Amino acid sequence: MTKDRLSGAVAGLNDLVFRLRGPGGCPWDAAQTDDTAKMYLIEEAYEVLDAIDCKSPEDVCEELGDLIFQIFFLSALAKERGEFDLAGVVERITEKMIRRHPHVFGDKTVTGPSDVSDNWDRIKREEKKENNSPLSRLKNVPAGLPALLRAHRLSERAARVGFDWAGREEILEKVGEEFGELTNAIKENNEKKVREEIGDLMFSLVNLARHWGFNSEQLMMDANQKFIGRFERMERELKSSGSGMEEAGVEEMNRAWDRIKSSEK
């Protein structure tokens, strides 16, 4: 990839967006706003994740293009309002990455990834202070993140200042404690308390996953995909045996499910 090819491709897509938005362009694109475009941004980001999980370079390439289009589109909307343009977006992130990597572009020395992460947080706090932004480490965890991912980030930020469990055994005890509280709430048939305790248990499990080096959002995505795979196999097995899902009873479905689980082991 040459610089000329890259700059030409970027300029071409930027021109295309303004053509779509401009006179004689596309009425649908011209009607879009930040509020409508942001939903497509989220959707396209998740389609990129799906493509990565499928390990299909062709699909990843296509979905990244769809995602980049949304970034170009939102930048165009901002330029129309006189706020900023695409060049400003690229310049700003370039400056930020240089500033936050002093071990690459400066004279800072690091011994590993943890040092890089600590430096990143310190520099980010300094930036926020200069901009008169809230200093709480939890304030800038986006509220729109998927709940499991947000729980991971919140607990991760708290852990960086020492507010964390001592280790895996301690957090495992916490999981057991929360499960006991949930069990008691169920026995009491207290719907409000059951709701709250399920949330507490899930948050504790997020922290247990984090202490093992896992991200609960990814774990849940993997579990969902495993469930889909097993369910589809169960559908095929029941169909091949002459009874579809509608005709099969719960016991027959459970037996098929157990056979599928056993075969995976």
- Residue spans of the domains in the chain: they are 3-99, 147-214, 219-264
Crossing angle for the helix pair 86-99 and 57-80, to the nearest 10 degrees:
110
Cα–Cα distance, 209 to 217 (Å, whole number)? 10
Has domain 3-99 been given CATH number 1.10.287.1080? Answer: yes
Q: Which residues contact 143 (CB under 8 A, 6 or more apart)?
A: 150
Fold agreement between 3-99 and 147-214: yes
Q: Which two tokens stand for residue 39?
A: 């939903």
Q: What is the pLDDT of residues 223-259, one digit of tens each?
A: 998 999 999 998 888 888 877 777 778 888 888 888 9
pTM over 0.75: no
Output the pLDDT for position 120.
84
Helix boundaries (H) for 81-167: 86-99, 102-105, 113-130, 147-159
Beta strand residue intervals within the chain, DSSP E = none
Instruction: Read off φ and ψ for residue 241, nearest 5 degrees.
Output: -85, -5
Q: What is the pLDDT of residues 19-72, one digit of tens each?
A: 999 999 999 999 999 999 988 998 899 899 889 988 899 999 999 999 999 999
* 140 touches 128 (CB < 8 A): yes
- Which of the four pLDDT bands, split at 50, 70 and 90, describes residue 132? low
Output the pLDDT for position 145.
84
Write the burial class of residue 215 (CB in 10 Å: 0-12 exposed, 13-18 middle, 19+ buried): middle
Output the pLDDT for position 140.
75
The least confident of 7-16, 128-137, 197-206, 231-240 is: 128-137
- Which of the four pLDDT bands, split at 50, 70 and 90, describes residue 117? confident
CATH class of the domain defined by 147-214: mainly alpha
- Which of the four pLDDT bands, split at 50, 70 and 90, describes residue 90? very high
